[in-house]
């Protein structure tokens, strides 16, 4: 299986593959559930290869470690998941 880092790099660098609507789901330890966000709202710090940044619903910046990414969707279809994580019940 491809690593999440390799998949995210492919989406960002491969123009043909990167076309489409992508979403990333990460496990939120406080809410104890997988939260799915559009990949367009994710920011990558070139100095931090182990995490990405998002802004939560309250406007607070969050750093999400890549090991907490559970699922990736392309055009609403699940294309990647970790075995130890379950996709959200609604499928997005």
Given pLDDT bands bounded at 50, 70 and 90, which one contains residue 92?
A: very low
Task: Give the chain's radius of gyration (CA, Å).
Answer: 13
Looking at residue 49, which CATH number applies to its domain?
Answer: 2.30.30
Report if residue 90 sits inside a domain: no
Predicted local distance difference test score (pLDDT) of residue 57: 83
Report if residue 86 sits inside a domain: no
Report if residue 87 sits inside a domain: no
Report if residue 28 sits inside a domain: yes
Tokens for 31?
Answer: 């809410």
Report if residue 31 sits inside a domain: yes
Given pLDDT bands bounded at 50, 70 and 90, which one contains residue 40?
A: very high
User: Across residues 2-8, what is the average pLDDT?
Assistant: 93
Based on the structure, what is the number of domains in the chain? 1
Given pLDDT bands bounded at 50, 70 and 90, which one contains residue 76?
A: very high
Q: Is 72 exposed, middle or buried (0-12, 13-18, 19+ CB in 10 A)?
A: buried
Q: Any idea of the CA torsion for 30, 53, 75, 6, to the nearest 10 degrees?
A: -110
Report if residue 89 sits inside a domain: no
User: Across residues 4-32, what is the average pLDDT?
Assistant: 92
Predicted local distance difference test score (pLDDT) of residue 23: 97
- Whole-angstrom distance, CA of residue 51 vs CA of residue 44: 7
Given pLDDT bands bounded at 50, 70 and 90, which one contains residue 90?
A: low
Report if residue 92 sits inside a domain: no
Beta strand 51-55 pairing with 61-65: antiparallel
C-beta separation of 22 from 37 below 8 A: no
Domain span holding position 27: 4-81
């Amino acid at each position: 299986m491809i690593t999440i880092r390799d998949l995210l790099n492919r989406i960002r660098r491969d123009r043909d593959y990167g076309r489409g609507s992508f979403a990333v789901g990460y496990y939120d330890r406080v809410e104890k559930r997988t939260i799915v966000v559009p990949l367009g709202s994710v920011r990558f710090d070139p100095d931090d290869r182990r995490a990405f940044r998002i802004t939560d619903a309250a406007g607070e910046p969050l750093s999400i470690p890549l090991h907490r990414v559970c699922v990736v969707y392309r055009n609403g279809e699940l294309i990647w998941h970790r075995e130890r994580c379950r996709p959200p019940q609604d499928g997005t």
